[in-house]
Amino acid sequence: MPCLWKPRSEETPPASVADLAESLGVSALTAGILWTRGLRDVAEMDRFLSPGLRHLADPAAIPGLQQAAQTLAQALTEGRKPAIWGDYDVDGITSTALMSEFLGLRGFPARTYLPNRLKEGYGLNPAGVATLADEGVGVLLTVDCGVSDFEAVAAARERGLVVVVSDHHLPGETLPGAQAVCNPRLDGANACLDLAGVGVAFMLAVALNRLLPGEQLDMRRFLDLVALGTVADVVPLTGQNRILVKNGLLLIKEAKRPGIAALKMVSGYDRFAELGAGHIGFGLAPRINAAGRLGDPDKALRLLLAPDEATAKPLALELNTLNSERRREEDVIQEQAQAQARELLAADPGLRGLTLFAPHWHPGVIGIVASRVVEEFYRPTLILCQEGERLKGSGRSIDEFDLHAGLVSMADLLLGFGGHRQAAGLSLAPENLETLRRRFHQAVLAQVGERELRPVLKLDRELGFAEISNVLLKELELLQPYGVGNPEPVFQSPPVIVKDRRVFGKDHVKLTLADPEARATIAGKAWRQAANLSPAVVGKTMRFAYTPRIDDWDGVPRIELNIRDWCG
């Protein structure tokens, strides 16, 4: 769907940006990008460009964390056997790996429990709690889950377990009856509000490290896990998350953790390659997720905790195979879901929210497919499948619609739900499907109104080909990691001539673009756009929205453009 182009800021950077640039030792272009993103003085810009660990918040800033650390320290020193209960996604698996490794190194080896997505679903469940109690577990720590698991927490307490909940999901009006609950979202004003579950787990481990007897660990060793889980959970990469991820990416580059090294190599990267957030989001994370999506997250956990490369390599290869299976299944479901969406929109072009359903769709991939449908049709989307006697669904949203708030307005229809503004999960009785379709449309309509729904592409500025250089691209790398809250810079080209077009891969396009004024020619790639950028574009004068980058796929670095949109 063509985007509406808008400047990232309505304000133009002032002439004084040149002075800021000189103080920082960067170009005025880079300083201008920072200025339009709300950083207005040298101190703010310098902290953004160099987000050192000294800028991390005190873990006590997270509501309930100090009590959680003290409760754990007391239970562990009393000799209670610990268990860590995580989630089956990357955030939950990295959180579990971090706490398991930390407690083991501090002399308290822990039992880990990652629920089977297909058999147990998300979060704690009483049956799993009973299993842990029967094994003699005395203290149960949740990571990336637990804040809404009232029944299971109560069951654990009844069995005499000390329960500490560590989570980052939106809490309800009441909290489970654990001895301690730490969650940055219990207070909307703290510096750690946007932490992923693994970020909360890391902060809890930092506080616990100070309380346990014996020699303290250097906590920097866990930042590769923090970066991996944080990027995968698509939380804002600003503030505390930027500090954690920026420093964690350095560890991922070093690849001292055997599991990370093996994962990089099966993902097609050199062991010591420097990876950005995009490489993690599209390379490493899907392979970890594949294990949980297809039913066995423990394989991914064992990979991350592998003691050596001989152990890690076969696990990484297995995850790579699972990911290939997941992609094949995803492609089939995506094609069916998009066809269903076209039928619904053909019958009712004014439909605001899409609710798609087929009983046989795999519950482990419907969230990914929902994202693809949103990308194609720019409508908030729920995708549901049959799971036993109920329907299970995943939702993805657009910037204009708060999905979690929309589900709150339909809570009377649902058996359960949870999530965030942009992504959520839900379940309901089959007889409520048609009512859900109608109510979801109404919920979207109530928030966004009747206006046309079109994606907005925010541009940093116009950038002619003469201004693009290796020096500029190295400088823009300082703005990494890119993600929510810190999008990759996007520029508008001047009018350029399409000199050549060819298709590569399944449906990708490579264009040769000439900027007559700059007397420069640069190649550009548009992913999955072969149908939209037809051979008819050759010879045309067009404008492109793009991000310049270095392509060294074949070992020879060259400048190319990642094409985001076009007009003309």
Which two three-digit tokens encode residue 272? 């010591």
- Over residues 507-560, the pLDDT tens digits come to 999 999 999 999 999 999 999 899 999 999 999 999 999 999 988 766 778 899
Task: Give the dihedral sign, CA 360/364/365/366.
Answer: positive
Q: What is the enclosing helix (H) or strand (E) of 427? A: strand 423-428
Question: Domains (ranges, CATH) in the chain?
Answer: 55-219 (3.90.1640.30), 348-448 (3.10.310.30), 461-568 (2.40.50.140)
What global pTM score does this model have? 0.88
Cβ(372)–Cβ(404) below 8 Å: no
- Within 10 A of 423 (CB to CB), how many other CB atoms are there? 17
Q: How confident is the model at residue 237 (pLDDT cuts 50, 70, 90)?
A: very high
pLDDT given for residue 436 in this prediction: 97
Burial class (CB in 10 A: 0-12, 13-18, 19+), 528: middle
Q: How confident is the model at residue 364 (pLDDT cuts 50, 70, 90)?
A: confident
Over residues 165-181, mean pLDDT: 94
In whole angstroms, give the CA distance from residue 201 to residue 94: 9
Question: What is the share, in percent, of the chain residues with pLDDT greater than 70?
Answer: 99
Burial class (CB in 10 A: 0-12, 13-18, 19+), 552: exposed
